Amino acid sequence: MTATATETQRSVRTVGLARVFGEGDAAVEALKGIDLEIASGELVVVLGPSGSGKTTLCNIIGGIDQASGGTVEVAGEDISTKDPGRLSDFRRDHVGFIFQFFNLIPTLTARENVEVIIEMTGRGSKERVPSLLDAVGLGDRMDNFPAQLSGGQQQRVAVARALATDPDILFADEPTGALDLPTGRQILGLLQDLNAQGRTVIIVTHNASVAQIANRVLTLVDGRIESDETNANPAAAADVTW
């Protein structure tokens, strides 16, 4: 298949994306028909109150969860119909995740936390791990265990880990939620730098201040997109305050 220019530049496309959790009286409609296109290289911040569907949307686009209805195309692949095995292949090949509470393995050093992803996925090379950790400012802390690192340093390890497989899209779900302001700014700065290098970055947060660094801000309310705004002059992460 020959991809058109638009197709190659498009990173995400959802049509009528719906997600229902549970059944019958207990059913929760977390997403109620999301139509969305994200171009390659965008830095998107997804805002919205607690329970509005932000995490659900990212988990489906990132192949962690699956839609109940509608279609989801990421990096040119339709992931709405993939079985769990092929979805896992898709994640390995295309996406990286960063979470609020870092999710590092406590018994492994910073370096081993990154290496284990390379071993598990068979993507990336272990030789690159020191330079990945160096790039997030942890060149001298590679042999420390998570408990020996500050929250911000642990989140940097998580960023390096997410980059180990060289993903097309980086998802960060409340990446600053457990961090103080200066440390949160540093992590946002890191995500902004990665975006400037051409990677698509999607940041989920309920912190409206974080939206200042985005070139596009999506606001979800009750499972629907309430607004979709572009920001011609994103702020530098260092200038954001909350």
Ligand X SMILES: Nc1ncnc2c1ncn2[C@@H]1O[C@H](COP(=O)(O)OP(=O)(O)OP(=O)(O)O)[C@@H](O)[C@H]1O
Whether the CB-CB separation of 132 and 112 falls below 8 Å is answered with: no
**Binding site partner of 28, from ligand X, Mg ion, none, Cβ cut-off 5-8 A by kind:** ligand X
Q: What are the structure tokens assigned to 204, written together?
A: 């989920």
**Binding site partner of 48, from ligand X, Mg ion, none, Cβ cut-off 5-8 A by kind:** ligand X
Site of interaction with ligand X (CB under 6 A): 21-22, 28, 30, 48, 50-56, 206
Q: DSSP states of 8-69 as a string?
A: HHEEEEEEEEEEEES-GGG-EEEEEEEEEEEETT-EEEEE--TTSSHHHHHHHHTTSS--SE
Q: Is 224 helix (H, G, I), strand (E, B) or coil?
A: strand
State the minimum distance, in angstroms, from the CB of residue 224 to ligand X.
12
Burial 102-136 (b: 16+ CB within 10 A, else e): bebeeeebbbbbbbebbeeeeebeeebbeebbebb
Greatest Cα pair distance in the chain: 54
State the minimum distance, in angstroms, from the CB of residue 185 to ligand X.
20
What x/- string results for residues 22 through 61 when contact with Mg ion is judged by CB under 5 A?
---------------------------------x------
State the minimum distance, in angstroms, from the CB of residue 211 to Mg ion.
16
**Binding site partner of 242, from ligand X, Mg ion, none, Cβ cut-off 5-8 A by kind:** none
State the minimum distance, in angstroms, from the CB of residue 31 to ligand X.
8
State the minimum distance, in angstroms, from the CB of residue 219 to ligand X.
11
**Nearer residue to ligand X within complex by CB, 49 or 139:** 49
Residues that bind Mg ion (CB under 5 A): 55
